[in-house]
Structure 1
Amino acid sequence: MIVWDEVHSERVCSGGVRDVRARVRRALYQVADRFDLDDVDLLVCEVATNAVRHSASGRAGGGVRVTLLASAARLRVEIQDDGGSKGRPVIPVQSSAWDEAGRGLLMVRELADRWGVLRGEDGRHTVWFEVVR
C-alpha cells in the first residue's frame, strides 16, 4: 500500500501554463532531491496545455486544479480541467513523427511510470501521472 502525503493542491486560474509550471516547481521544492523535476516539469506543461486547449479551462475564467502527492518513492501529479470537452483525453494515432501537435499524452506515456485519466460526474477530466524515484 502506498501512503501519500499531499504536497500541494490549488486551483490556478490566471497566468496560463507558464504559471501552472512555476507553481508546481515551487511546491515541489521540498521533494526536489528525490525526483527528476525536469521530466515532471515537461509532463506538467503537456498536460496543462492539453487542458487549456481542449476544455473550458482555456476560456475566460477557466483554470486547472493541480494536486501533488508524494510518498517515499513516488510522486503523483493530478491536473483537473474545467470540463466541456467532447471526448476523453487519448493518445492519437500519429501519422508522422514530424507532427507538430498530438504528442503530449504520448510523452506522458513514455516518461511517466504510470498515468491515467479519470472522468468526474461533472464532466471534468483529471489526467494524472506518477514518477518513481
Structure 2
Amino acid sequence: MDEYMSCLRVWGLSCPGFPEEIARARRWVREILGDQPYVDEAVLIVSELGTNALRHTASGEPSGAFHVVLALSKHALAISVTDDGKSDTSPEIKHPGSEAT
C-alpha cells in the first residue's frame, strides 16, 4: 500500500476582489514553493487565473473574492483558482480579422 501513499500538503488563500490582490497571490505562491523548479510557471498560472476571475466574474465586484489552493505532493502540484461565478457578460466567440495578432 505504501507505494500509493504520498505526503500531500495543501494551502489555501482567499483574496478580496481587488487588482492588487493578484500580486499578493503571486508572492504567496512563491513563498510556499520556494526554490521548486516549476515555481515561475505556478506563479504565472495563479496570476492569469486570478486576473481572469477579477475581469470576467463577480469576483471583481466590490464584495467579490477569489480563492487559491495549492496541493503539493512528492510527484505533483495541483493549482486551483475559484471565483464567485456569475457575470453580467457571457462568453462569445470572436472572429478576428486576417491581420490581427
Provide TM-score, normalisation by structure 1: 0.57
Aligned residue-pair number: 93
Any conservation in 2 of the 1:57–1:63 contact (CA below 8 Å)? yes
Q: Provide structure 1 residue ranges, at least 5 long, that are not aligned to the other structure.
A: 99-133
- CA-based RMSD of the aligned residues comes to 2.9
Deviations 1:74-131 (A, max 9, x none): 101100001123558xxx6773772xxxxxxxxxxxxxxxxxxxxxxxxxxxxxxxxx
1:18 equivalenced with 2:23 (yes/no): yes
Equivalences for 1:54-133 in 2 at 5 Å? 54-85=56-87, 95=96, 98=101
Which of 36, 45, 59 matches 1:43? 45
Pair 40,84 (structure 1): closer, same or farther in 2 beyond 3 Å: same
Larger Rg: 2
- By percentage of residues, which structure has more strand? 1
Provide TM-score, normalisation by structure 2: 0.72
Q: Provide structure 2 residue ranges, at least 5 long, that are not aligned to the other structure.
A: none
**Percent pairwise identity:** 30
Q: Give the C-alpha shift of residue 47 in structure 1.
A: 0.7
Any conservation in 1 of the 2:57–2:83 contact (CA below 8 Å)? yes
Any conservation in 1 of the 2:67–2:81 contact (CA below 8 Å)? yes
Pair 27,82 (structure 1): closer, same or farther in 2 beyond 3 Å: same
Which residue in 1 is equivalent to 2:9? 6
